[in-house]
Amino acid sequence: MSTTMVAALNAALRDSLRADANVHVLGEDVGALGGVFRVTDGLAAEFGRQRCLDTPLAEAGILGTAVGMAMYGLRPVVEMQFDAFAYPAFEQVFSHVAKMRNRTGGQMGLPITIRVPYGGGVGGVEHHSDSSEAYYAHTPGLHVVTPATVADSYGLLRSAIASDDPVVFLEPKRLYWSAVDFSPAEVSTAQVPPIGRAMVRRPGTSATLLTYGPSLPVCLEAAAAARSEGWDLAVVDLRSLVPFDDETVCTAVRATGRAVVVHEAAGFAGVGAEIAARVTERCFHHLAAPVLRVTGYDIPYPPPMLEKHHLPSVDRILDAVARLQWEQ
Amino acid sequence: MSTTMVAALNAALRDSLRADANVHVLGEDVGALGGVFRVTDGLAAEFGRQRCLDTPLAEAGILGTAVGMAMYGLRPVVEMQFDAFAYPAFEQVFSHVAKMRNRTGGQMGLPITIRVPYGGGVGGVEHHSDSSEAYYAHTPGLHVVTPATVADSYGLLRSAIASDDPVVFLEPKRLYWSAVDFSPAEVSTAQVPPIGRAMVRRPGTSATLLTYGPSLPVCLEAAAAARSEGWDLAVVDLRSLVPFDDETVCTAVRATGRAVVVHEAAGFAGVGAEIAARVTERCFHHLAAPVLRVTGYDIPYPPPMLEKHHLPSVDRILDAVARLQWEQ
Amino acid sequence: MTVLDDSTAPGLVGPPNSHGPRRDPAPLLPDPEPVRILGTPAAKMFDTELQRELYRRLVLGRRFNQQATTLTRQGRLAVYPASTGQEACQITASMVLREQDWLFPSYRDTLAVVARGVRPVDALTLMRGHAHSGYDPYEHRIAPLSTPLATQASHAVGLAHAARLRAAADPETAEELVALALVGDGGTSEGDFHEALNFAGVLGAPVVFLVQNNGYAISVPLASQSAAPTLAHKAVGYGIVGRLVDGNDALAMHSVLSAAVEHARSGRGPVLVEAITYRLDAHTNADDATRYRSAAEVDAWRARDPLTLLERHLRAAGLLDDAGVAATARAAEDLATEIRAQFDNPPDPDPDSLFTHVYATPTSQLREQAAELAARRDADAYADAAEDEDEDEAR
Amino acid sequence: MTVLDDSTAPGLVGPPNSHGPRRDPAPLLPDPEPVRILGTPAAKMFDTELQRELYRRLVLGRRFNQQATTLTRQGRLAVYPASTGQEACQITASMVLREQDWLFPSYRDTLAVVARGVRPVDALTLMRGHAHSGYDPYEHRIAPLSTPLATQASHAVGLAHAARLRAAADPETAEELVALALVGDGGTSEGDFHEALNFAGVLGAPVVFLVQNNGYAISVPLASQSAAPTLAHKAVGYGIVGRLVDGNDALAMHSVLSAAVEHARSGRGPVLVEAITYRLDAHTNADDATRYRSAAEVDAWRARDPLTLLERHLRAAGLLDDAGVAATARAAEDLATEIRAQFDNPPDPDPDSLFTHVYATPTSQLREQAAELAARRDADAYADAAEDEDEDEAR
Ligand SMILES: Cc1ncc(C[n+]2csc(CCOP(=O)(O)OP(=O)(O)O)c2C)c(N)n1
Ligand SMILES: Cc1ncc(C[n+]2csc(CCOP(=O)(O)OP(=O)(O)O)c2C)c(N)n1
Ligand SMILES: [Mg+2]
Ligand SMILES: [Mg+2]
């Protein structure tokens, strides 16, 4: 059964709503429209408009309302319509969502899932293609998860909703329509991936690409292309930025002694900096070369016709691999 | 003449208001009260309530209003009362302030200075001690500046206000009352430090401490204490996080072959990660050890009685230096 | 007399100023019925030239909406949020402004931007995709189209406030300017809307906020957006004047908006105008409006199409005949032809422009990154050329 | 009949629901004069036991404010934002709630928290500095004190909404609860306030918003904060009921607030109450209020001290005599003694607690960091012990 990422996310929401009466979906246009990306398609029809609530257009209000609902024991799943439109809710994210458990000495946890379609590559006009993961990842108290495959979008979203902590769930919108043979109905609870574990998507011996979300397919493509240059690249999909899976990442880097981090957010103080810094701290003497980064430039996200120059490409990744100081 | 950082900042505002009729100060309590930290003391009296405007209590509205003022050719200087209370304005910061020049193909720049008292160490209750620099530094289009000395607070603030680009000016509140012999009146225009240049505060041969803002005095103290352990530590004060002074930093690191980055913000995906990553990229073969980080833990800022455990201390810095893999 | 004045309370020496100012809410409240002129006696008093001009502009505006939508079908525009059905709002928003005034449009307001003199192709740059904005904001006194909803409202307040400060400081060169901010019904729910109106009220800034209440925020109907009697009632909470107008009645729109603008210009404070209108097309070309509204509802509004209402009135008043309609239709076709011509050459934006306007002067980081991209493009060009040569040789 | 109903427009088949709901604003608007009971005939009808209880609680509340302020002078509290002068608001906010209800206090509302049953030392934890919050929100149904202004208002809406959803799903265990959110006059300017009221209006959530308008946001007077006729007028913009009350009249406060709470409880929607009051002390112990307000103004308000007004009334009504005053004063002293005792032992928070409640289960990163800190502290303890030994030996 061919399933798109949108369909897998939709199935995860549906199955979560079925499994737990406390799960509630809310956001802009999530009801009759089924969301601008159709991720909530059919949920209002099946579960009623209260459990899949079209809210007023006010992101701080949406998230603040979700905080109150979570305080009462519900499990709200909030949809932010686009990455940049979550910014109005950042005070709620930083000052309450991330901190409530800590502020109350563990007495009040907030099991909220914040779904954020993020990243570019879809020809979106300005403010529709931001990669905002670093803002969340730098904020203690949040889990930050981003699936890169259809199966993971189902499994990780179910885990996110089941989590007793707030999870920022970043959906790479340019993979929304990617489809594979996958049937959510066949996923058993045991198969649902836990939050916090990276996944080696491709073993390799020459160097290790560390990536996540929208950049995974680009890295896999680069790894395939690299064969012809004589490089056997490993590719690690982080899946969870917080918590970070040091073990899987360091094992994969130590095995090759070389690493390139790839993401499309601006490089400066991005998550890639953290990955490069911590890998270097932990694997320094295994490294034959510095950990390099291939990222978006330090510019506002470009207009559609120029975005291809900004996004990490196979070429840019291979150039970075070439710069990993290979002995001839 | 003994001058505190607060007095130096106040002088910089006053001199800027005098020098340019387009400079306007606005924020919560900046008028009659002179700001909760008294940085705007006396400005309303000298320049009138319009040029030092007490606004309604709404940070997005304050910054949005400043954007409109800047569009008309004024140079607004906005005060955010505390670090965490700038979060409501983040959509304005990210989607407009940082992007306006780019959005308009260079036709509309926004010469806004956003003053943010930041960081801890002052016994503040929750939400009063956040180190928010990484959020700004990761956002292309902003300059991000943070003085660590009395003289720099005067000079860099004048440069920030004179800049044609938006500058986030982070004031380390725990240094507000530090005082040195300094007379703003004697600073000539030529002496005003430009934005974007780091400063070697102390030369050294064993290892290099890279730091900024509130952590500079701690690093200097650590360097002094390190003498007795036989280490001669260099200390670099970044002063500007964006633009970043690669030249000064790399020269200082190459000279010692060892570096520790120190800041009090949470470490994960903090500015320290960027510094460690880029220093490693650029100086890899000069490094005898990985660049280490001494930062705040990845936790919400602690309550006053526990903050001493969270803040980078001389001890923690010396421990990191000790871990720089010295050959005996 | 303020509500705090409590001379009976012993010891209270008049109302502490800390609780002022308190004012009579009555003049701030909108009438329960939206202002209408078409079909009322007031229509007879309305300047006839202006009526004809409004008709002409509405027809051209409608043609603009149609042509832009066609461009999306041809792939020459990436996306277009049409204002079909809202032309009376868009056109009058531009007409009531003087040269020195500023317009702060929202993402749906390209037509208002064009009506103020920006070339269609430039107004549509955002939707075309080669740059974020295609016009010089200072040339036209129009802020870039704002996609983050309601965020531009406080910019309007700041600019209007700044102009008054400048005017007070230098009455010689004083411009009595008004800023007009356009917001949607959905946009009124954002905190930014509230903060902008509050600042405007407190500062007494010469701003007019025009809310085009077209009944929906994408799929969300007004009933899920607000429980207010009308959106115009929100004004009283900021001490500013609220007015309600039929947004499909071009004459009413023009008179309410010009009164609002002149109210603001004369220093009597900001105004919030709610125009009740309807978006006849889908949210954008990518939207499927049948998911959330009925054909019957759309039909009911089509019958209240601002063009139809105005044309019917003009004909009845003897101000328009078949020849006039035909002439206007020809002018509209000319506009459409001109727009198509403007779109003839596909844009070819320079990748180097990615780095040039991030800061007034690029940082060393950006110079490095620009050089990297330029080198890569040179290498690609070289590789392409080499490939071409190989192919030539092979042939 | 809605304002959109325009049966004269040809072809319009009734008002499209997309523009509804439209309602009569009149019942939503507050009276221009704040509700007062003291000094009016209504005082005679007021339950006498409740009057005495209010007096007792106000006196204790005042003593709480004084004692907490004293603790700051002694360095036993880091900071205290006193609600001196606002006790009638604080006390009634707690009294009108039932057990199942929730309180959402702002940073100044420790007294309301204490009045709902939290031990003073626990309510003051935030200000003492050993933890962020000292009480279990579920035990008392009180959210933690919110320092980011107005952000807790939407939490109140969400919680009240959730309770109604739960009640609808499971009427057996249904709790008809009301959430009461406390906001300051300054806080009403934040976008969060607007968004919360709008959500409450749209959802019809059982929430009461109490704005304690004490005339200032730190140093900023209301005139620089809002140009509204009254803050209660903001309610109409959300389709909710607005009420204005004299916040220093404990009887009026109690009756307006209980009516509001029962209005919300009965499903008739949210209420916004503006209580006009005054903060007699500075913003906090660290503030210098003489910079922004006159002694005359403070004196005028001191004459309207809620305690004075109530005591004068009770004495005049024969409900209180010197003996009663003395007995209440003794109870207040007992409270003060108890508070001091609660503060006797300086807290000694465990540094390991920094890591335990960031997540339900600490991440491996936090486990590493906790171990690092623990090791450092062990080493320090060891070094200290060694140093002590050295000293011992040297002696
Ligand atoms: C802050 C923000 N949140 C969400 C969006 C996504 N979005 C774009 S248009 C739209 C609906 C706008 O409705 P309304 O304000 O009524 O304007 P209209 O589209 O009807 O002109 C939404 C939710 C946005 N652009 N900005
Ligand atoms: C979002 C936010 N901005 C700024 C502050 C700093 N601050 C603390 S109290 C205060 C004034 C609050 O005034 P008001 O709402 O009237 O409450 P009051 O102090 O009078 O009780 C300010 C500006 C804050 N706590 N939160
Ligand atoms: Mg709309
Ligand atoms: Mg106040």
| DSSP H helix total and E strand total for chain B | 12, 14
Question: How many residue contacts between B and D have a Cβ separation below 8 Å?
Answer: 111
Q: How far is B82 from chain A (nearest CA, A)?
A: 13
Q: Do D186 and B126 touch (CB under 8 A)?
A: no
Distance D90 CA to ligand 3 centre (A): 41
- In the chain, the amino acid numbered A117 is P
Cβ contact D3:C33 at 8 Å: yes
Alpha helices in chain D (DSSP H): 42-45, 48-73, 87-95, 110-115, 120-123, 125-128, 137-140, 151-169, 191-203, 250-265, 295-302, 306-316, 322-342, 353-356, 364-394
Spatial distance between the Cα atoms of C35 and C253, rounded to a whole number of angstroms? 8
Percent of chain C with pLDDT over 90: 87
* Residue range D119-133: mean pLDDT, rounded: 97
Q: Searching chain B, which residue's CA lies closest to the CA of residue D364? A: B298
On chain D, the residues whose CB falls within 8 A of the CB of B80 are none
DSSP per-residue codes, D131-181: SS--S-HHHHTBPPPB-STTHHHHHHHHHHHHHHHHHHH-GGG-----EEE
On chain C, the residues whose CB falls within 8 A of the CB of B196 are 363-364
* Residue range D5-21: mean pLDDT, rounded: 39
CB atoms near residue C73 (< 10 Å) = 10
* Residue range D262-281: mean pLDDT, rounded: 97
Q: Do A293 and B277 touch (CB under 8 A)?
A: yes
Instruction: Give the residue, C395 or D322, on which the prediction is more confident.
Output: D322
Residue A262's SS3 state is strand
Spatial distance between the Cα atoms of D150 and D390, rounded to a whole number of angstroms? 56
* Residue range C83-99: mean pLDDT, rounded: 98
pLDDT value at D1 more than 50: no
Q: What values do phi and psi take at D275, rounded to 5?
A: -105, 120
Q: Compute and round to an integer the Cα radius of gyration of chain B.
A: 20
Calculated CA dihedral for residues C218, C219, C225, C228, nearest 10 degrees: 90
Residue B303's SS3 state is coil
This complex has an ipTM of 0.97
The CA-based angle A121-B93-A130, given to 5 degrees, is 10
* Residue range D254-262: mean pLDDT, rounded: 98
CA A234 to chain centre: 20
Comparing CA positions, the residue from D367, C277, B254, C77 lying closest to residue A123 is: C77
Cβ D216 under 6 angstroms from ligand 2: yes
DSSP per-residue codes, D172-232: GG-----EEEEEETGGGGSHHHHHHHHHHHHHT--EEEEEEE-SEETTEEGGGT--SS-GG
Comparing CA positions, the residue from B92, B83, B35 lying closest to residue B60 is: B92
- What does the mean pLDDT of chain D come to? 92
Cβ contact D280:D85 at 8 Å: yes
Stated as kind and residue range, the H or E segment containing C94 is helix C87-95
Cβ contact A248:A240 at 8 Å: no
Residue B23's SS3 state is strand
Cβ C218 under 6 angstroms from ligand 1: yes
Active-site annotation of C, residues:
279, 283, 292
pLDDT at C395: 55
Under DSSP, the state recorded for C87 is H
Domain ranges of chain D: 26-342, 353-394
Residue to mutate among D189, D194, D234, with most B CBs inside 10 A, is D189
Quick check: is A128 catalytic?
yes
Spatial distance between the Cα atoms of C385 and D11, rounded to a whole number of angstroms? 65
pLDDT at C3: 28
* Residue range D93-120: mean pLDDT, rounded: 98
pLDDT at D6: 33
- What does the mean pLDDT of chain C come to? 92
Cβ C71 under 6 angstroms from ligand 1: no
Spatial distance between the Cα atoms of D341 and D336, rounded to a whole number of angstroms? 9
Picking from A43-47, C225-229, C247-251, D29-33, which range would have the lowest pLDDT averaged per residue? D29-33
- In the chain, the amino acid numbered D84 is T
pLDDT at C17: 44
Expressed in angstroms, the distance from the first to the final Cα of chain B is 47
The tokens 């459990």 sit on which residue? A51
For chain B, which residues score pLDDT lower than 70? 328
Q: CB-based contact (8 Å) between A304 and chain C?
A: yes
Spatial distance between the Cα atoms of D198 and C189, rounded to a whole number of angstroms? 7
Q: How far is D232 from chain C (nearest CA, A)?
A: 8
Whose C-alpha lies nearest to ligand 1, atom 3? A85
| pLDDT tens column, D75-85 | 999 999 999 99
Question: Hey, what domains does chain B have and what are their CATH numbers?
Answer: 2-191 (3.40.50.970), 199-324 (3.40.50.920)
Spatial distance between the Cα atoms of A105 and B181, rounded to a whole number of angstroms? 45
Q: Do C129 and A84 touch (CB under 8 A)?
A: no
Whose C-alpha lies nearest to ligand 1, atom 6? A81
Percent of chain D with pLDDT over 70: 93
Q: CB-based contact (8 Å) between B61 and chain C?
A: yes
pLDDT at A288: 96
Residue to mutate among D236, D272, D276, D311, with most C CBs inside 10 A, is D236
Comparing CA positions, the residue from C190, C105, C115 lying closest to residue C156 is: C105
pLDDT value at C383 more than 90: no
Residue C373's contacts (CB-CB under 8 Å, 6 or more residues apart) are: A297, A309, C351, C352, C354, C355
Please compute, for residue C184, the number of CA atoms within 13 A of its CA located in the half-sphere on the CB side: 28
On chain C, the residues whose CB falls within 8 A of the CB of A57 are 149, 186-187, 189-190, 217, 220, 225
- In the chain, the amino acid numbered C286 is A
Comparing CA positions, the residue from D176, D103, D106 lying closest to residue D140 is: D103
DSSP per-residue codes, B219-267: HHHHHHHHGGGT--EEEEE--EEES--HHHHHHHHHHHS-EEEEEEEES
Residues in chain A: 328
Give the sign of the dihedral formed by CA D37, CA D41, CA D42, CA D44.
Answer: positive
Spatial distance between the Cα atoms of C224 and C212, rounded to a whole number of angstroms? 17
Helix axes C151-169, C191-203, angle to 10 degrees: 20
pLDDT at D9: 35
* pLDDT bucket at D11, cuts 50 / 70 / 90: very low
pLDDT at C171: 84
Whose C-alpha lies nearest to ligand 1, atom 26? C148
CATH 3.30.70.1450, domain C26-342, yes or no? no
Spatial distance between the Cα atoms of C381 and B290, rounded to a whole number of angstroms? 39
Spatial distance between the Cα atoms of D306 and D290, rounded to a whole number of angstroms? 22
Spatial distance between the Cα atoms of B204 and B230, rounded to a whole number of angstroms? 12
pLDDT value at C21 more than 60: no
Instruction: Give the residue, D368 or C383, on which the prediction is more confident.
Output: D368
In order of C299, C301, D137, the CA distances from C280 in angstroms are 9, 7, 50
- Per-residue pLDDT of chain A in tens (328 residues, 90 and over written 9): 899 999 999 999 999 999 999 999 999 999 999 999 999 999 999 999 999 999 999 999 999 999 999 999 999 999 999 999 999 999 999 999 999 999 999 999 999 999 999 999 999 999 999 999 999 999 999 999 999 999 999 999 999 999 999 999 999 999 999 999 999 988 887 788 999 999 999 999 999 999 999 999 999 999 999 999 999 999 999 999 999 999 999 999 999 999 999 999 999 999 999 999 999 999 999 999 999 999 999 999 999 999 999 999 999 999 999 999 887 5
Nearest Cβ partner for A137 among B268, B280, B297: B268
Collect contacts of C330-334 with beta carbons under 8 A, ≥24 apart: C331/C56, C331/C59, C331/C60, C332/C59, C332/C60, C332/C62, C332/C63, C333/C63
Kindly give the pairing relationship between strand B199-202 and strand B233-237.
Answer: antiparallel
Cβ contact A50:A23 at 8 Å: no
Please compute, for residue B319, the number of CA atoms within 13 A of its CA located in the half-sphere on the CB side: 15
pLDDT at D20: 47
CA B328 to chain centre: 38
Distance A29 CA to ligand 3 centre (A): 12
User: Which of residues 175 through 234 in chain C touch D, CB cutoff 8 A?
Assistant: 189-195, 198, 201-202, 204, 213, 215-216, 221-230, 233-234
Ligand nearest to the CA of A94: 2
Comparing CA positions, the residue from D277, D278, D106, D270 lying closest to residue D188 is: D106
Instruction: Give the residue, D13 or B328, on which the prediction is more confident.
Output: B328
Nearest Cβ partner for A127 among B95, B269, B271: B95
| pLDDT tens column, D181-224 | 999 999 999 999 999 999 999 999 999 999 999 999 999 999 99
Calculated CA dihedral for residues B300, B306, B312, B317, nearest 10 degrees: -130
In order of B112, B161, C161, D69, the CA distances from B19 in angstroms are 16, 11, 21, 44
CA A155 to chain centre: 13
pLDDT at C155: 98
Please compute, for residue B247, the number of CA atoms within 13 A of its CA located in the half-sphere on the CB side: 8
pLDDT at B304: 97
Distance C229 CA to ligand 4 centre (A): 29
Calculated CA dihedral for residues B234, B240, B241, B247, nearest 10 degrees: -60
pLDDT at C329: 98
Q: Do A269 and B268 touch (CB under 8 A)?
A: no
Q: Ligand 1 pocket test: which of C146, C182, C218 has the largest number of ligand atoms within 8 Å of its C-beta?
A: C218
Spatial distance between the Cα atoms of A141 and A102, rounded to a whole number of angstroms? 8
Alpha helices in C224-321 (DSSP H): 250-265, 295-302, 306-316
Spatial distance between the Cα atoms of A241 and D267, rounded to a whole number of angstroms? 44
In order of A198, C31, C201, C279, D32, the CA distances from C274 in angstroms are 52, 11, 17, 15, 25
Helix axes A59-71, D191-203, angle to 10 degrees: 70
